[in-house]
Structure 1
């Protein structure tokens, strides 16, 4: 055991003479070392720790790690800990530096093959509100088994679903339209995990909005156009329509079919957009007995003695004389919000044209709707309201070319006065002339008085209308088309070009007065000239890229025709060859170390000569001695 021991040696010779000597022997304790076995997962390191608790050493402990079960071979490390991702047995030898005593212990590192995370969905595109079916395809390496599944359905870093037992398939409904990145992390019974992320994997389309229109009441034997204004919106157009029941409808695939039911009927429309997403809505047509003063008639046989004006969903019936189609009294159709009006005087004759054929008498319907494709507005005119189409339809639902009146019909349209430009000189209702392809300001109405937020006009036929503000010089309203106001030719926008790309690598000689190695290109200056070739000022962002990776950018503002030098300083560039791109120009930068072999050889020869001289002198001195 460790301690100090006294040893005495006695000696007696043949003459009987004797002598003795006494010495003290010190036995030093061995270091105490213990290393525990460790486990880790593939791709990760295990850390072995040498525990030397209880070791007595007056100096410091020295550590040496070896591969294998004995302290021999290459030393892997000299710290109290050693990290490795390779399975096997490792030995740590601990030595007390003051006594030279040492001991060692061995431990085993076990590396488990981790699981593989994977999944799929039943569809990559889906409509909002429809669940997505997820299927887990993950696996573990025997004998390990999967014990934990963690799902992130929207790439926000939060776990949205956790399973602790196998769930091969399940459904998940996204709360809103969008494109989603999905991640799955699985963990096995050894504690090893793996993640799979699929970027922009599932796209959820928005649903369209279906509008079947308001409930309406008509007399027995009458017909009416049904549907919304518009019937389909939202989602992604164009749309397809399917009305049920299809009985008594002119075209069940039309957004606004003509309904001629014999009994009260509820109609349902399904609107499907280009992504296959759909929505539905219903409305009811209520049938009442005909008025006592009128007899039932079928529109296909007897002449129409009335027509309906549909103002954004509010329907007004106007009765006319059957022989010449004149209004039998004054009528003032309006929209549901009582913002827009028409004024038909008693005796106004209504007729229409379709396919270049003039028809006396009114069409079956006149509908006011927000224009889906309004004509452009040019010159010193600005629209301050929505653009509205006034379109006539025959009894079979065929749109007519135009509706005419033998006397002016008053029109009032609402607008938001906050939309008026500061340099507004006048406000009025303008009508689109499709033949001349221009807007024509209409004369103000002689009936209604325009006020703040309302504009009036007298019109003699229907087309497309808008409340329009005239800016700049005053334009007198006229019943005839005004000369077109062509906008001035716009200047060419800012257009930037690059030229004179220059790459200047810095040459740096190492080791001061003895430049054995020269570093070339580790620091570099890169510049380019940027020119604005357009006719307007603009801002250009110059991006410096090395091998398609952006290292930096500068924003410069240039007037028309102006040029500017853009310069970047790049430091600590690693040895390699780089494709440099700046202002859409490219060149190559090679970074390397250059060795001065001539100087290196000279120095080596000089050192060898000095050593040889010193060696020879030493040998000569010894011979003399």
Structure 2
């Protein structure tokens, strides 16, 4: 009988990844979702079935095994710092160690999604410098700007929390509101971003406006306007306006022989070195000019009271028109309403009321 000899060759692989070690595995423990793009995360490799604590770990991102990002040795944790280059990143871990007495390597992956739910692009005031009494207005700009809350902090302990309006408004500003304002914008999942800006509130100047005499006899007196500035920041600029288109940019202008139609309201605007302004005004009144009248009483001459007398005879001259408290001034130096004269030649008598 013939015998058939059958030879079979069994190949033993030395590559650890071909060993059958179904009880040895690695998994990644970590968040699958990140709401804040500037949030760091920690990934932890959890092993099962490996024989000892000498298992080592290699970490990869998106491309395994091409893009190795870390070799943590026997440390099972990987700290991943922002920024993230993609909205979705797949992290891989390769665990190599002894499994059932043989070298063994296994892998696991975890996909992490980054929700950049908003981006705070800036915070800016409507005006970086304002005057006291004006309004502070600061707006935070975020894209997109839905489902966000705004918390503000400012000088001298100012705080305004959990606002839905992106604009901060502070009316009737005072200099102690000057300083740095910081906004914290909070979005989905508690993700927040901050930004700051600076506001300056200048002190408000003041002006006192008047005239040397607010009641003037038209065409006979000068109107002297006067302005005095205080507060704010010098130097000051003065600008006057008044009746009949009156304008002047000197501090204390004058209107010589003020006409009657120059009576009315005068306003001065003071502007300080920070462009803060103050105004003052007052009323100028023009007195009515009196109407002078002279009555002659005499009995000599051609007819009584006709202003013709005999030389040396007396005549009574009575002036009216000054009213209560008024005064009279005669050309012969007398200062009463009624005078008696004895002219010896033709004489003209003048009274100023």
The TM-score by the shorter chain falls in which range? 0.5 to 0.7
- Flag structure 2 segments of 5+ consecutive residues without an equivalent: 1-84, 297-305
Match of 1:189, SS state, is coil
When residues 114 and 240 of structure 1 are mapped into structure 2, their CA distance, relative to the original with a 3 A threshold, is: closer
1:267 aligns with 2:353: no
- Flag structure 1 segments of 5+ consecutive residues without an equivalent: 154-158, 272-625
Residue 148 of structure 2 contacts residue 186 of structure 2 at CA under 8 Å; is this kept in 1? yes
The superposition leaves residues 39-85 of structure 1 with CA deviations (integer Å, 9 ceiling, x where unpaired) of 12223332112133xx246x5222111126xxx99545723122342
1:114 aligns with 2:200: no
Residue 177 of structure 1 contacts residue 205 of structure 1 at CA under 8 Å; is this kept in 2? no
Q: Which residue of 2 aligns with 1:61?
A: 148
Match of 2:207, SS state, is coil
Match of 2:345, SS state, is coil
Q: 2 CA distance for matches of 1:205 and 1:80?
A: 59
1:430-449 aligned within 5 A:
none
TM superposition score normalised by structure 2: 0.55
Q: Which residue of 2 aligns with 1:597?
A: none
Structure of higher RCO (CA pairs closer than 8 Å, 6+ residues apart): 2
1:40 aligns with 2:130: yes
The partner residue of 1:145 within 235, 238, 241 is 235
When residues 75 and 139 of structure 1 are mapped into structure 2, their CA distance, relative to the original with a 3 A threshold, is: closer
Q: 1 CA distance for matches of 2:261 and 2:246?
A: 18
Q: 1 CA distance for matches of 2:109 and 2:140?
A: 40
Q: Which residue of 1 aligns with 2:288?
A: 206
Q: Which residue of 2 aligns with 1:6?
A: 90
Residue 116 of structure 1 contacts residue 140 of structure 1 at CA under 8 Å; is this kept in 2? yes
When residues 32 and 95 of structure 1 are mapped into structure 2, their CA distance, relative to the original with a 3 A threshold, is: same
When residues 231 and 114 of structure 1 are mapped into structure 2, their CA distance, relative to the original with a 3 A threshold, is: same
TM superposition score normalised by structure 1: 0.33
Match of 1:266, SS state, is coil
The superposition leaves residues 397-444 of structure 1 with CA deviations (integer Å, 9 ceiling, x where unpaired) of xxxxxxxxxxxxxxxxxxxxxxxxxxxxxxxxxxxxxxxxxxxxxxxx
Q: 2 CA distance for matches of 1:202 and 1:240?
A: 23
The superposition leaves residues 120-156 of structure 1 with CA deviations (integer Å, 9 ceiling, x where unpaired) of 43235543442232222213544x4222434558xxx
When residues 169 and 74 of structure 1 are mapped into structure 2, their CA distance, relative to the original with a 3 A threshold, is: closer
Match of 2:330, SS state, is strand
Q: Which residue of 2 aligns with 1:341?
A: none
Q: Which residue of 1 aligns with 2:61?
A: none
The partner residue of 1:91 within 182, 187, 198 is 182
Q: 1:266: how far off? A: 3.3
1:81 aligns with 2:163: no
Q: 2 CA distance for matches of 1:134 and 1:21?
A: 90
Residue 140 of structure 1 contacts residue 146 of structure 1 at CA under 8 Å; is this kept in 2? no
Q: 1 CA distance for matches of 2:262 and 2:240?
A: 23
Residue 31 of structure 1 contacts residue 101 of structure 1 at CA under 8 Å; is this kept in 2? no
Q: 1 CA distance for matches of 2:261 and 2:345?
A: 43
Bigger radius of gyration: 2
1:14-33 aligned within 5 A:
14=98, 15-29=102-116, 31-33=119-121
When residues 236 and 148 of structure 1 are mapped into structure 2, their CA distance, relative to the original with a 3 A threshold, is: same
1:212-231 aligned within 5 A:
212=294, 218=308, 221=311, 225=315, 231=319
Residue 314 of structure 2 contacts residue 342 of structure 2 at CA under 8 Å; is this kept in 1? yes
Q: 1:18: how far off? A: 4.8
Q: 1 CA distance for matches of 2:214 and 2:238?
A: 25
Q: 1:116: how far off? A: 1.9
Q: 1:112: how far off? A: 0.9
Residue 208 of structure 1 contacts residue 232 of structure 1 at CA under 8 Å; is this kept in 2? no
Q: 1 CA distance for matches of 2:337 and 2:190?
A: 100
Q: 1 CA distance for matches of 2:271 and 2:212?
A: 24
